[in-house]
Structure formats: C-alpha cells, structure tokens
Structure 1
Amino acid sequence: MIFGRGLFAGAAGCKSGQMPVYERHTHLPYPRPEVFDWFTRPGALVRLSPPFSGSVRQEPTDGIEPGSTAVLGIGAPGSLGLGLGSATGFLAGQLPFRRPDWAAPELPWRARHTELVPGEMFQDVMESGPLAAWTHTHLFEDAGVSAGTPGHVQPEATGMTDRIEYELPGGGLLEKASGALPGPLGKLGRVPEKVFEVELARIFAYRERQLLGDLAFHAEHAGPLTGGRTLTVAVAGASGLIGTQLCALLAGGGHTVLRLVRGEPGGAGAEDREDVIAWDPATGSLDADALARADVVVNLAGESIGGRYTPERKRAILDSRVDGTALLARALADLAADGLQRTLVNGSAVGYYGAHASDGDQWLGEDAPAGEDFLAQVCRDWEDATALAQTAGVRTVLVRTGIVQSPAGGMLQQMLPLFVAGAGGPLGVAGGRDPWISWIGIDDVAGIFAHAVLDGELEGPVNAVAPEPVRASEFARVLGRVLHRPSVIPVPGFGPRALLGTEGAELMVEASQRASAARVEGSGYLFRTPDLESTLRHVLGR
C-alpha cells in the first residue's frame, strides 16, 4: 500500500501571549464527502487512537455533533509509557475481575465537540485532562490534479489539516522565566513544547496511516462506500483485543454492528440497547429474534489461553469456545429456514496444527492435519462446533489466527516490559531449537476478519497470519532494533515455565508453526504491514 505524504509544521515562532500551534497536513486520495463521513461514524476514535499512547475509555456519545463527549486514557510519553502501560496491562489481564479505570497507568482526558460544519470542519476541546488547554480543529478541503483549466481542481481527493492549539501545564511559566536569560539559555523554555510536539508527530503519523489504510480497505470491499449494501454484523467477543478493532473497522465502513453481551435485555450487561444481543453460552440462552437481524455473525468469544494450564483452566478454555460456537451455530441453522443467506465467521488459531508442526521448515497450509496437543484439540473441537451451521447452508469461515502484535495485549504486551528495560531476548530458543513464529499485526487480523465478513466467496479455514513468519531469534532482533534495546541473550527456559507451567510453556512459548498466508492473499486481501519491522514500528509508534 502506498500512503499519502504528511507535512508537519510545529509551533516554533509562536508570538508571546499566544498558545503554541501544531499542524499536520494529510493528502487523502478519496473524495471529501467520503472522508468526512468516515469521521462521523462509530469507531473512528478507536481506529485513530494509537495503542502506544493510551486507550479509549468511552467513545463519543453523539459522534462529532456539538456537545458529544468522549473519554480517553493518556499514558506517559516515550519508552516509560510503553513499558509501564504494557506491564500493567498484562498484570490486569491476570486478574479475575475487570481493572477499574482509576487503577490504570493513564491520566483521564475528557473531550467535548464544540463546532461542526458538515463536510468542512469539526472541533473538539479538552474539558479536563493533563494539559492546561487543548483545541483540535479538523479541516477538510477538495484537493486533486488540475483538469486542464487553470485554477480548476477535481474534487477527487481531500486535503485534511489537523490544527491543534495547546498549552502545557504551568501556563508557559518556564518559557517566561527563561526568556530573560542570555543566549541559548533563553530558549530553554521551548524544550517542553518541542518534546511534546515530537510525541504529537508520532501520534498523528499513526493516525494518518490508520485513516489511509481504512479508507483503502473500504474502497476495496463491497459496502456503502462502493455502492454496495450495508450489512448488519453481530460480534461475540466484541470487547476483546481483536473484537474492539474489528467492530470499529466495520462501523467505519458504514456497516451496522451488534454486540453479543452476556445478560438479559435491560439487565446490567445488555442495557436494553438496540445494538446489543443478549446471550449466555453457559446456560445455552440466546435471543434468536435479535440475532435474526444479522447478516453475518462473528464469533471471537473465548477464555484467554494465557496462564497456567490447570485442569480447571483447560476446561474453561475449551468450554468457552465450544459451547458458545455450538450455540451460535444451532441458532443460525434454525434461522436458515427463512431462506436468507447468512454467514458465520468463527475464530480459531494456528495452534490447530500442533505446537511442533514446524520443528523443521514445513509450511502449514489450511489442508495440513490437526495436531494432538491440548490447544490443537481445542481448535479442532472449536471448528467442529460450527457443523450445524455449515450443514444448514450457512457460509462458514474459520479464521486461524497467528500471534497478534499489539502493545494492548497478547505476546507483545508481555514481552515489552523486559525489552524496554533492556533485558529482552529470544523466547523458546534452547538446545538448538529456534521456533517459527506465525505473527500478524492487529490491523491486519481485524482486516482479515472484516474481509471474511464482506467477501461472499471466502469459505472454510483460512490462516490469518502475515506472509513472512520469522524465527524466535529474528523476532527478538527486530523488536530490539525497533526499541533501540539489546536483544541477544535468550530468556532462560525456567522463566516461562515458572509463569506458565511446563505444558503452557511448551504450547505457547516453544511452539513452532510456519503457517502460510497464501490462501488469504489469493482471496484478494492486501496486507497493510506484511513484514514484522513495519508492523512493530506502526503499533509502537517508532
């Protein structure tokens, strides 16, 4: 994918008494109404929020309409924030309850939209947060190539400007105090602004790549933006790492997203909202009438596979996947009697092939046999639970995910604290073994699930992995290079075993799977970041 060029103009030279101004200009090769509409849809803030700088705690209450509010969590800048955020995020994932927002290593940022001129601009301000002041104005104008007539521009592209007026805590006291000092010392007061703008440049570079990537994805897939119809997609596991991004990506394309939530309509979980479907796999309950509204059901629900593999945890991992999938498959099979064509996109994983499927250099296509270990059994039973839907004629896609790369969760989140501290190294490398890692970036795994939703021809198992798997030693080298940290010394095997137990370490840390992306590429999916280094630089803002 070729991205548009972004231009940056900082705050240098701002007049005394005025707030500093940061601007970023982005060229988008899409019509202005199409670009502007993307910002008005649910999910835009989620898609634009970098995982290396914080999180979205509450999406806008009313889009970009004046008065709409949103709440973000803002992490510390640079490596400090990356290491602290990943460490606390990993620890929170081990808790048996949801961590309260006040315990997060982030400062709350409450934003409110204040102005809107449809198709041209909108503005938001910081109502409360870590800065003294912040006003963000989004400006849009037609941009394109000359049509031959002087001064005439074809409105086939958009020029977007992000203009930010801000004031750091302290109200510029350092700048005022240093202004009386002689020579270079008089410029010391500008240092905090320059550091702040370096962080802004990282954030807006990420936002630019995300926006261009999402617009390109929707241009390539049938939907409202390409003259196609709007789909209604029900998602189980919508609040998870993949589900959050998938829901936002689909909503940004104009599709309607429904979330399956445990509980009864009107209860604490479902809240009696039209975009919520009540279900409970443990009791076998599901609001089938509400599910009937969906053209596609995406199932991402399941207990985390992290942690020690006690008998109780193994049972929870298996049951949470099989029971929920069987419940959805049975409901879709029953609904098939109405004659409407529906689709089930069901999660799975490359663990299907077994932990040691590629101890040599074997490539694993979707026709490779299932393994015999615990996680292979889970994946096999998980996929088999879709049988009722397939028999009833429901188009079924089984997405076998690789190791997802995001500092917001999974393997990368667990590794970052050690690497940021300069103590990181290859995992699972011992006794001449250097296992294959079939990885995939968070945006590409969300993209492949969305591709499976929107491409009516794709069916059966498909590996959701990047085209270039790497050895564990290479993964560590690339991560160390991106973070500018050492990464040579392997992590001793007793560390993962102490944390995960013997079986957990063998199935997760020492697993070797070299899965092929040929089928998903052959179906027309275009990877955003097909190589590991570009993926890590994007999700880590480096």
Structure 2
Amino acid sequence: MSIQHWSTIEAPIEAVFGWHERRGALQRLMPPWMPGRVRREAGSLADGRAELALPGGQLWVGQHDPAGYVDGRAFVDERVDDGLASAALAAVRWRHEHRFDPVATPSGEGTRVHDAVDTLVGSHLLRPMFVYRHRQLADDLARQRELHAEPMTIAITGAGGLVGTELSAFLTTAGHEVVRLVRRDAQEGERRWDPNAPASDLLDGIDAVVHLAGASIFGRFDDEHRHRIRSSRIGPTRLLAELAAASGVRAFVSASAIGRFGADRGDEPLIESSAAGEGFLAEVVAEWEAEAASAAAGGMRSVQVRTGLVQSPRGGMLQVLRPIYAAGLGGPLAGGEHWQSWIDLDDLVDIYARALVDERLDGPVNAVAPDAVRQEEFAAELAGVLHRPALLRTPSLGPRVLLGHQGMRELALANQRVVPARLTELGHRFRRPRLEDALRHQLGRQREAGR
C-alpha cells in the first residue's frame, strides 16, 4: 500500500530544499494532533537519523538512505528497528520518498513537492498529515521571505515550552542561530541562565532576546500560586532586560498577556492603548510589561507580546477541551456570552518573528486574531470541526473547583474583546484569521481543494 501527495510551493527549489536541510524542519512539520515529540533531528538528509519519542516509551527511528539522496532534488527515509525501544512498531513498514522539482508559477519560480510513502498505514490517517505539512512549509517560507531578515543570533528563554519550541524551529529553518537559555547544565546550543543572577557574559554575541519564561498561570489561585506567577516574571524580566541593554542587544521581545485588560471589559474593543483593568493578573502584567519596557531607556527596542488564548492541541485551553468535545460532552461555558480573544499558534510564532526584525514594532502588541468570538461561538466552532454536538451547557462550578473563584473569573470566564490594532496598522497578514480555519489546521480536519 502506498500514498502520494503533492503540491506547488511558491518558492525556488533551492529555498525549499534548503529549508528541509536546516534544524527545526522536522519540528515544524510535526502535526500537533499526533502523539509524540521530536527527540532528535537528522544531521543530514543524505544519511542522517531522526527520532520521534512516542507514548509508552516507544521510539520511531527514521534512517535516511544514501541511495535515495539527490542533492537539491530528493531524499528518502525509512523506519528502522532500534531494539526494545521500537518493538511495538516492528510490523510497521515505512519508506518515505521526498521529491522536489522546479516549476514555473504565475509569480515566478516555484517547486513541486511530492511525497510518496510505502506503508501499511491507511491513507485516511496519513492524508491530513501531508496536507498539514505542505501548508506549514508554504506558509513558513512565505513568511520568512516576507520578513527577509539577515541571519541573527537569538537567545530564547522558555525555549522548551509550547511557543518556544515552535518559534525556535521557525527561526532556525529561516537561517538564524538560536541559543537556548536554560536553568540546568547547558548542552550544545544552550547557555546556563540564573533568572535571579544572570552572568554578565550571558548575552555576549547575542543580537536579540525573546523572553518567554514564566510559571504557568493555570492553576488554583491560592497564595502560593500567585507568588509563583509574580516572582517568575517581575524580577527575572527586569534583570534580563537590563543585561540585554548593557550587552548591546538590538531587540528585547518579551511575552505578555491580554490579562492586562482585566477580567470583564464587556463589549469594549481593547487596543494597545486601552486602559489597564483591575485584578491580580492585570496588576502582574502591568508590572511585567513595565520591567520589560524599561530596557528601552538604554536605546534598545523593546516589544511586549500580549498573547490571547493560544490554539494548539499540544497546550493551553484546546488541549483540555479537545477530548471533552470529541466525546460529545462539550458546550458553552457559564452561558457562553463572554468574549474570547484567541490566536493560532503559528500566527503567534509569526508575530514574535516580526517583533524581532520589524523596527516599526515597539512597546505592547496585541497578539490576537482580528475577530474575537463569544464563548458560545467558540464552543459551536470546535464541536463542528470535530463533528460533535455542543449542547451540554457547562456551569461555572467546574472551573471554580479547579481554579478557585479568582482563577475562574480571571481565566475561564475572562471577558475581553481584544483587537490587534498595531498589527493591523502595519498591514500584518494572519495565516488563519478565522477560528474555524485555525481549529481545522491544528486538529487535522482540513478541507482540501477539490475534495
């Protein structure tokens, strides 16, 4: 049994093949709804070895075959056994040929990308994967071409998190060098970072910093959790921003949150200059942003990325809701009238990438899709994509038990109609401005042209 999938990418063959050769390509092509994670990327498309860590301790090993490699035109990988670590996969046959051919397109040079897989796995399971991979490839190349940034060395805190993992891969496939700042002993491509006492040479040779680290805000809002949220953001951000300014870093891009606007702003459209709201998260975010912005006093460009509800089945709200809705148990939360300002994960990656290189961006940026939705609409869209009903209205008791009264009010029931005004002014193009499109892409429920 075999499956084939092809599409035309609006980019020269040298750019398309070169993208696949760089670190991060496998991560960017890994469908988020599929189990497992990238443990090792192949060092060479000619004879390298890639590894995916799967549930149950199993390991998928892809060995590149030198006989199938044609420089700039083709490469082949096949699944191979690796003792007990891949014992459960012994019966799975997989040989994957990747071919690239130059073609003419209306906009100029293009590339026909052709995947052919010899396997026992059914095409109904694989088709969504290839649709996803080809769209990721096309969208990433288009964005990287649009930003057209000279190679930089970029330090990232929180690089192992949901956003940091994808952003790092996007940047390395674009030709940048990423240095991960970690709190454990450093390995290749890393530097050890003490958030409360960063070494004076930590950012030597660094062109830009992306600061994503911080304790998760999800949890019961007791005194200990609130302290963890605040202490992991305020002090470390100030120290890192000061060091970045003193080290000659050109841009300091820091995570922030739409929680700055408070728990309930009704129907008010909230732009970057809107007044801060009230509540614990609003106070923390305001202080957090102030510490990040203080670096601008040293002449460094400082951007604070106010993130909405990130859509990805690998983390955040969608990771929690997907199995509930898939079981037919989803529905509007507490009446469903409150606004939810959301952002597709890849769109958030694009915003961080733009913040690094676009000199016009400075200060706070609302990282949300153009159209916020009522929670009831979100429930209907998610249920529709999963082909399930959304009839079971969920009372506020559930979130209150998990998060406490304050957490329920400031997270689960936050009513914020946030608008990406600054990005709109700059003509920023969102990959997936509509919620349905984002959910379909992230959950593998895409609609193919002609199908």
Equivalence for 1:504: 407
Residue 167 of structure 1: how far off its partner (Å): 3.3
Match of 2:11, SS state, is coil
Asked if the contact 1:428–1:509 (Cα under 8 Å) also holds between the matched residues in 2, the reply is no
The letter for the 2-side match of 1:200 is: L
Q: Which segments of 5 or more consecutive residues in structure 1 lack a partner in the other structure?
A: 1-19, 74-100, 147-153, 169-195, 224-228
Q: Does 1:351 align with 2:274?
A: no
Q: Deviations over 1:186-242 (max 9, x none)?
A: xxxxxxxxxx2111101101111111100110110122xxxxx21111111101111
State the alpha-carbon separation in 2 of the partners of residues 428 and 512 from structure 1. 12
Task: State, as a whole percentage, how many aligned pairs show the same letter.
Answer: 41
State the alpha-carbon separation in 1 of the partners of residues 161 and 346 from structure 2. 14
Q: Does 1:466 align with 2:335?
A: no
Determine which of 94, 97, 121 is the counterpart of 1:134. 94
TM superposition score normalised by structure 2:
0.93
Determine which of 61, 64, 70 is the counterpart of 2:45. 64
Match of 2:314, SS state, is coil
The letter for the 2-side match of 1:110 is: V
Equivalence for 1:164: 117
State the alpha-carbon separation in 1 of the partners of residues 334 and 274 from structure 2. 23
Asked if the contact 2:98–2:116 (Cα under 8 Å) also holds between the matched residues in 1, the reply is yes
The letter for the 1-side match of 2:141 is: L
Indicate how the Cα distance of structure 1 residues 124 and 396 shifts in structure 2: closer, same or farther if over 3 A, else same.
same
Asked if the contact 2:293–2:303 (Cα under 8 Å) also holds between the matched residues in 1, the reply is no
Indicate how the Cα distance of structure 1 residues 487 and 387 shifts in structure 2: closer, same or farther if over 3 A, else same.
same
Match of 1:302, SS state, is coil
Q: Does 1:112 align with 2:63?
A: yes
Asked if the contact 1:45–1:59 (Cα under 8 Å) also holds between the matched residues in 2, the reply is no
Residue 434 of structure 1: how far off its partner (Å): 0.9
RMSD across aligned C-alpha pairs, in angstroms?
1.7
The letter for the 2-side match of 1:356 is: D
State the alpha-carbon separation in 2 of the partners of residues 145 and 469 from structure 1. 36
Determine which of 330, 336, 348 is the counterpart of 1:424. 330
Q: Does 1:200 align with 2:126?
A: yes
The letter for the 1-side match of 2:271 is: G
State the alpha-carbon separation in 2 of the partners of residues 470 and 406 from structure 1. 17
State the alpha-carbon separation in 2 of the partners of residues 448 and 387 from structure 1. 18
State the alpha-carbon separation in 1 of the partners of residues 59 and 159 from structure 2. 23
The letter for the 2-side match of 1:36 is: F
Match of 1:289, SS state, is coil
Asked if the contact 2:262–2:276 (Cα under 8 Å) also holds between the matched residues in 1, the reply is yes
Alignment of 1:214-253 (within 5 A): 214-223=140-149, 229-253=150-174
Equivalence for 1:310: 222
Q: Does 1:323 align with 2:235?
A: yes
Determine which of 341, 348, 353 is the counterpart of 1:445. 348
Residue 132 of structure 1: how far off its partner (Å): 2.5
Mark the structure with the bigger radius of gyration. Answer: 1
Q: Deviations over 1:44-79 (max 9, x none)?
A: 111111111123231314142403332243xxxxxx
Indicate how the Cα distance of structure 1 residues 540 and 421 shifts in structure 2: closer, same or farther if over 3 A, else same.
same
Asked if the contact 2:380–2:390 (Cα under 8 Å) also holds between the matched residues in 1, the reply is yes
Asked if the contact 1:343–1:395 (Cα under 8 Å) also holds between the matched residues in 2, the reply is yes
TM superposition score normalised by structure 1:
0.78
Residue 377 of structure 1: how far off its partner (Å): 1.1
Q: Deviations over 1:145-189 (max 9, x none)?
A: 59xxxxxxx981111111111135xxxxxxxxxxxxxxxxxxxxx
Aligned length: 436
The letter for the 2-side match of 1:285 is: A
Q: Which segments of 5 or more consecutive residues in structure 2 lack a partner in the other structure?
A: 446-451
Equivalence for 1:89: none
Equivalence for 2:429: 526
Indicate how the Cα distance of structure 1 residues 239 and 356 shifts in structure 2: closer, same or farther if over 3 A, else same.
same
State the alpha-carbon separation in 2 of the partners of residues 278 and 61 from structure 1. 25
Residue 525 of structure 1: how far off its partner (Å): 2.0
Q: Does 1:489 align with 2:368?
A: no
